[in-house]
Amino acid sequence: MRIGELAERAGTTPRTVRYYEEIGLLPGAADRSSGGHRSYGDADLERLRELLRLRDLLGLTLEELKAVVAAEDARAEIRREYRSTESPARRAELLQAALGHLDTQLGLVRHRMDELATLEAELRERQERVRARLAELGAPVG
Amino acid sequence: MRIGELAERAGTTPRTVRYYEEIGLLPGAADRSSGGHRSYGDADLERLRELLRLRDLLGLTLEELKAVVAAEDARAEIRREYRSTESPARRAELLQAALGHLDTQLGLVRHRMDELATLEAELRERQERVRARLAELGAPVG
DNA sequence: TTGCTCCTCACGTCACGTGAGGTGGC
DNA sequence: TTGCTCCTCACGTCACGTGAGGTGGC
């Protein structure tokens, strides 16, 4: 697919995709099919979606996202080395590193969920109070 | 308290507080005690904390936060009018508007929580896979 | 008097948005 | 041939960061 479709399906803009490529967060599109147009596959779409999700949900900066990409590339490297002659010790080391990154991300996710749960509770409390006042006025509760 | 303490207790910087004042998101500090230094109270701290929370957790822009502030000022206005001679119809109207704003915010909060829950599930799944591979290697599960 | 924090410009930065002017595929 | 999307500059914008140079309270 071309950059317009990629961006729309990922929920962003072509400009953002080009910017991410410019700063090295996304690799330059593999083939620039005739006319210099960037061309992308489904794997590119999935990776972009995940980056945007981490950006929006966890508030990671683009520098931090670069570190995430590096960690994921390392995981991909693990899979590639999996059947090679790499030593079990080295494999375990890489897997442990991957576990560390996942732990960090899970910690961030849970922290955010806690904060959101607190916010939700406060909003519901306010909502109840407003509803109670409306009831006092003899109005129907919306 | 002065701007440095306010900012630190709210988890931000003096520059951000001044910027929010500059664009009209925060009112200019009530008293500029001798020397032109801004002075703040606990209510200012609470309001700032809430704005930062909405910014960080829901990703609202500063323009959107202005609308939130306007809605909250309207709620404060309701309380002020509560014992005045305002008509019940007018009061109900203001309360309904407040309910609408709360509904909107609750919708955003729940949407974010859903997205975070999905992300958490995916991260846990990856974690399990990595752990399984580590177990295959005969290594202790971290 | 010495630090510490505060003040106001004002330029820099991050993460893009938005034309300007031009080329390429159905 | 006409739209549509793409391309590369390059300047603009939002939300601040970061000194520059100076004043004020324990």
Residue A99, exposed/middle/buried by CB under 10 A (0-12, 13-18, 19+)? Answer: middle
The single-letter code of the amino acid at A108 is L
Asked if pLDDT for residue B29 goes beyond 90, the answer is no
Beta bridge partners of A32: A38
Nucleotides of strand C lying closer than 7 angstroms to a protein CB: 5-8, 10, 14-18, 23-25
CA of A137, closest CA in chain B: separation in Å? Answer: 7
Lowest mean pLDDT among A5-14, A59-68, A88-97, B58-67: A88-97
3-state DSSP assignment of residue B27: coil
Is residue A47's beta carbon less than 7 angstroms from any atom in nucleic acid strand D? no
d(CA A56, CA A16): 14
CA atom of B98 to C1′ atom of C12, Å: 41
- Does residue A126 or residue A31 have the better pLDDT? A126
Cβ-based neighbours of B127, under 8 Å, separated by 6 or more: A99, A102, A103, A106
| Cβ within 8 Å of residue B74, ≥6 positions away | B94, B97, B98
Which chain A residue has the Cα nearest residue B54?
Answer: A119
Q: What average pLDDT does the segment A24-33 reach?
A: 82
Residue A116's identity, in one-letter code, is L
Please check whether residue B127 touches A, CB under 8 A. yes
Measure, in angstroms, how far nucleotide C4 C1' is from residue B88 CA: 54
Averaged pLDDT for residues B130-142: 75
CA atoms of A115 and B70, how far apart (whole Å): 24
What is the least distance, in Å, from the CA of B32 to any CA of chain A? 33
Distance in Å, residue A4 CA to nucleotide C25 C1': 15
Q: Minimal CA–CA distance to A101: which of A59, A126, A140, A65? A: A65
Taking residues A2-30, report their average pLDDT.
Answer: 94
Smallest CA–CA distance, residue B47 to chain A, in Å, is: 14
Listing DSSP states for B58-96 in one string gives H---HHHHHHHHHHHHHHHHHHHHTTTT--HHHHHHHHH
Q: In this structure, what token pair is assigned to residue A65? A: 């996202």
What residue type is B46 in one-letter code? E
Q: Which nucleotides of D are covered by protein (CB under 7 A)?
A: 5-8, 10, 14-18, 23-25
**pTM here?**
0.89
Average pLDDT over residues A2-13: 96
Neighbouring CB atoms inside 10 A of A69's CB total 19
In chain B, pLDDT over 90 holds for what percent of residues? 68
Whether the pLDDT of residue B64 is over 80: the answer is: yes
C-alpha distances (whole Å) from A82 to each of A91, B25, B137 are: 8, 55, 11
Q: Which residues of B touch A130 (CB under 8 A)?
A: 95, 98-99, 102
Mean pLDDT for all residues in chain B: 89
Query: Rounded mean pLDDT of B113-128?
Result: 97
Q: Could you tell me which chain B residue has the CA closest to the CA of A99?
A: B127
- The answer to whether residue B126 scores a pLDDT higher than 70 is yes
* Segment (H or E) for A32: strand A31-32
pLDDT of residue A86: 64
B31-51 residue pLDDT tens: 677 778 999 999 999 999 999
Per-residue pLDDT at B83 = 61
Q: How far is the CA of B5 from the C1' of D26 (A)?
A: 16
Residues of B in contact with A119 (CB under 8 A): 53, 57, 109
Whether residue B139 has pLDDT greater than 60: no
Does B61 score more than 70 pLDDT?
yes
State residue B80's pLDDT score: 77
Q: Is residue B43 a contact partner of residue B6, using CB atoms and an 8 Å limit?
A: no
CB contact under 8 A, A126 and B102: yes
In this structure, the number of other CB atoms found within 10 A of the CB of residue B106 comes to 16
* Inter-chain contacts counted by CB atoms under 8 A, chains A and B: 99
pLDDT digits (tens, 9 = 90+) for A110-137: 999 999 999 999 999 999 999 998 898 8
B15 touches strand D (CB under 7 A): yes
If you average pLDDT over residues B55-80, what whole number do you get? 89
Biggest CA–CA distance in chain B, Å, is 78
Helix (H) or strand (E) holding B32: strand B32-32
Give me the mean pLDDT over the B77-95 stretch: 75
Is it the case that residue B19 has pLDDT exceeding 90? yes
Nearest CA among B11, B121, B17 for reference residue B62: B17
Give per-residue pLDDT as tens, A35-82: 789 999 999 999 999 999 999 999 999 999 999 999 888 778 777 776
